[in-house]
Chains A and B, each alone.
Chain A
Amino acid sequence: MPEKRIVRIKVRRQDGPTANETQRWEEFAVEWHPQMNIISALMEIQKNPVTADGKKVPPVVWESCCLEEVCGACTMIINGKVRQACSTLIDKISPNGETITIEPMSKFPLVRDLIVDRSRMFEDLKRVKAWIHLDGSHELGPGPRQSQENQEEAYPLSRCMTCGCCLEACPQVGPGSDFIGPAAINQVRLFNLHPSGKMHAAERLEALMGPGGVADCGKAQNCVEVCPKEIPLVDSIASVSRQTTKHLLFGWLLK
């Protein structure tokens, strides 16, 4: 029998946002299994919540749902990089049994352990009115015709799963700044592209023209590098930036 392969994981834990005294690192050693990812490793810890040095502890808590990188729930910082735990394969990040570190995201208020509160991202979607202003859900026939090209531009933008990676990585987002961040700006581009969405483009642009708006982007491009859905965030920011400039210069003419 070959020796059992062990995966070592160090988790940063804290019982609550104000419970600073409970902040700690705990290390776990779990048995390797094929196709193991961070979530399945955490699940092993649930079944036997004992640290590497033999202490029984409450199981680590985290958020997850789809386990296929489409819901955005399980975002955390793994070996210093923000990403989804479900699509992080152990064999890829620890090919030789290197210890893996896991931390909660730092730009959002902590709930407990690896769980943070990302509700501001949903509030931001309200702020930029990220929706089509529908007359109603009753039958009104098909929507506007759209070219394949338009669809091919819009579809990638609409795959944003509000995971928060881009906000975590953005140097302009953080305490003391009210920068809305790239995810919501990308949504403005998306809705302003749509034939009916366009009709309300001005409202969305105006939401991004004040403090915390698109002008606060420092163009560091960190966001685009961490976006798991490979959304062209820098293009979106540039596009929305152009739209706001245009709106600022000529918008009043159209009123």
Chain B
Amino acid sequence: MAQKSSIVTESGKVRRVIVVGGGLAGLMTVIKLCEAGIPVDLFSLVPVKRSHSVCAQGGINASVNTKGEGDSPEVHLEETAYGGDFLANQPPIKGMTYAAPGIVYMLDRMGVPFNRTPEGLLDFRRFGGTLYHRTAFAGATTGQQLLYALDEQVRRYETVDVEDARGVVIRGEKMVRKWELWDFLGLVLDDEGRARGIVAQDLKTMAIEAFRGDAVCLATGGPGMIFGKSTNSVINTGTAASAAYQAGACYANGEFIQVHPTAIPGADKLRLISESVRGEGGRIWVPKDPKERRRGRDVPEKERDYFLEAKYPGYGNLVPRDIASRELFLKCFHEGRGVFNPKSGKNELEVYLDVTHLPKDLLRKKLAGVLEIYEKFVGEDPYENPMRIFPAVHYSMGGLWVDFEKSADGKLVVGSPRNQATNIPGLYAAGEVDYQYHGANRLGANSLLSCIYGGMVAGPAIASYVKNLKTSSFDLKSSIFDKAAKREQDRYDAILKMDGKENPYVLHQELAQVMLRDCTIERHNDVLDKVIAKIDELEDRWHDIGVPDTTPRANQGAQFVRHLRNMLVIARVIATGARNRDESRGAHYKPDFKQRDDENWLRTTMAFYQTDGKRSAVNFVRSFDYTMLDKTIHVTDAVDVSLVKPRPRRYEQAGAASAAAKGAVDGGAAQKPKEQSTTATAE
């Protein structure tokens, strides 16, 4: 028997759900829960309005086809599956691409100041991996604008009272309570291994507390900080996902890390120059003469090598990111043809990204936000000078494994409690922290979409889980919560007592160095072995840290020691997954295994945590069972490719990514998976 009411328990307590993370995915989950009448406690490391989603620049995809190009959700589905080198399960993608137009309309109704056409309709631009104008945008700060719109809706729910089933206001209870500047430390699991709440720490007072929740949703974003310098925000350590993984959650496809081709080389962060710059006509080139001494703007047209356009006439500067990044790396690193620096006498690891040929008015209206970043941080005017850029770690396709329930028409059964559910009963995940939508390589402007769609699906899924829950967490004895709080308190106290000789920030720098150098664009097995040995070493040295700070308030040093340990654990998942996968697919590229190998590797990497108490280890499995509301569900690593048949990627041909939807697939190629060549190799 399920609980009688999903609002109050048998003993009259208000039942709430916990959402950790207030980026796009978390906020959308909260909105859907509130609409289902379920009150939420929302936790975040930073005020949610400052979440990492604020950084997104370029836009969000939806096949609205306002330009009469024949775009459709079906084409969007195919291009997403194809761009991801067929590693993603296709029903969730289909659900997402079909929901996309509705999502963009919803955002429009929320007041997002999207750019407009002269007729007053939404404007769309091009992004990577497609020939269609599919990306809605608000200047070049789209993520900021979307985050603010959802943040505003959630703030409204902070002022709305909880009502019981008869519509009577329950005093003192609001639909949303925010716990901002709190760090999620771990789950509270009951005796059956069900998530019943969380333990979190107030980052001002450092107080540690357990919270009850009838379900928990992690929407905690990606782990970019493992690579040190990246395009990510500094809070993206992946600590929450790591804690869940250490509590038994499956982590999937960890080795798929997206490197974005165009970022500004920098000391503390590699600031992104959005793909939208190329979508609006920006071009990538290097001087034909590797010892060219003139400034970029002074190099005449015919002395420039537009190498992406030359090699990929079909998609040109808008080939998917994995390919573009590899080509840039090839140019700069292997061929030594990066921009020449007369001062150092070296070819730098930099190529030109040029918009100087585009009308200034267009640049100001559509790209000002990005160009401003270049100007501010480089001190050069990008309207007049070609920008100098290089690839940077950007996004994690991998993340917590989540389930889905497929509908008859190949999408998702909306409201199924299985959608976005992790293998820990009662624990859900949505947003960059899940592994679900992008396979081996994410297309630009698909992430904001997958975050919001993930939230739209997670909300109703959690609502139906909570409705069918037999006993509410709010009626459980307090001892399991006290025990969990004590476990985390003991861990924290132990960190405060660490008096070894290592500085955690220095250890982090060492981790980042090897991960960035050896575990990104090109991967070699012998080198990966060394990366894993380095992680062993760093995990050992972690135990010899001297905590840099013992102050009782806002102790970021002790907090970082904890995050570092969690980063090491996920770093191992990434590196070991990469070591094992002997093929090239999407963002994962091994020069010694240049082919995609569907026979052996068209499968999800599924990792479980193991430890001997000192070091972590990874247990990779091909199948497992988990329980959803008393039903056992058997999970395997097979990928659902029932909607778009895998075929080799050929971005040198225009329209190759949408050929099936347009009825132009070369049947022969689809039939012979073994011949599948590349992942555009850097031969």
Contacts and interface: CB of A to CB of B under 8 A. Distances in A.
Given A16-B553, A59-B548, A196-B111, A111 B204 contact: yes
A132 B149 CA distance: 9
Please tell me the size bucket of the interface on B.
Answer: 35 or more
Contact of B35 (A63, A137, A140, A146): A137
A73 B109 contact: no
A178 to B, nearest CB: 19
Contact of A113 (B266, B548, B554): B554
B549 A58 contact: yes
A89 B269 CA distance: 13
Given A73-B50, A131-B155, A131-B156, A65 B111 contact: no
A15 B409 CA distance: 60
Given A35-B377, A46-B548, A47-B503, A67 B145 contact: no
Contacts of A37: 267-268, 377
Interface in B177-201: 180
Contacts of B310: none
Please tell me the size bucket of the interface on A.
Answer: 35 or more
Interface string B383-422: 0000000000000000000000000000000000000000
A64 B373 CA distance: 17
A43 B122 contact: no
Contacts of B153: 131-132, 134, 137
A209 interface: no
Contacts of B125: none
Interface in A1-46: 15-16, 33-37, 39-40, 43, 46
A68 B155 contact: no
B233 A35 contact: no
Contacts of A137: 28, 31-32, 35, 106, 153, 456
Contacts of B267: 33-37, 40
Contacts of A152: 365
Interface in A135-184: 136-143, 145-148, 150-152, 154-155, 158-159, 161-162
Contact of A132 (B54, B111, B120): B111
A130 B266 contact: no
B551 A147 contact: no
Contacts of B110: 132, 134, 143
Given A66-B54, A66-B55, A122-B155, A15 B551 contact: yes
Centre residue among A59, A68, A72, A191 by max chain B CB count within 10 A: A68
Nearest to A49: B548
B511 to A, nearest CB: 14
B617 interface: no
Contacts of A161: 49-50, 54, 144
B108 A143 contact: yes
A112 interface: yes
Given A59-B548, A113-B554, A146-B116, A132 B109 contact: yes
B52 A66 contact: yes
B548 A68 contact: no
Contacts of A191: 111
A33 B265 CA distance: 13
B115 A151 contact: yes
Given A47-B503, A59-B548, A158-B145, A68 B111 contact: no
Contacts of A131: 111, 152-153, 155-156
Nearest to B456: A137
Contact of B152 (A34, A59, A132): A132
Contacts of B159: 126
Contacts of A67: 233-234, 268-269, 271
Contact of A154 (B113, B149, B268): B113
Given A46-B548, A49-B548, A131-B156, A115 B47 contact: no
Contacts of B376: 69, 87
B226 interface: no
B550 interface: yes
Nearest to A132: B111
Contact of A155 (B117, B139, B155, B551): B139
Given A64-B234, A158-B145, A59 B556 contact: yes
A70 interface: yes
8 contacts: A35-B377, A47-B503, A47-B505, A68-B55, A70-B144, A132-B152, A134-B109, A158-B145
The 8 lowest CB-CB distance pairs between A and B, nearest first, are A145-B120, A143-B108, A131-B152, A40-B268, A58-B549, A143-B109, A112-B554, A71-B50
Interface of B: 28, 31-32, 35, 46-47, 49-52, 54-55, 102, 105-106, 108-111, 113-122, 138-139, 141, 144-145, 148-149, 152-153, 155-156, 158-159, 180, 204, 233-235, 266-269, 271, 365, 373, 376-379, 456, 503, 505-506, 509, 548-557
Interface of A: 15-16, 33-37, 39-40, 43, 46-49, 58-59, 61, 63-73, 86-87, 89, 92, 111-113, 115, 117-119, 122, 125-126, 129-134, 136-143, 145-148, 150-152, 154-155, 158-159, 161-162, 191, 194, 196-197
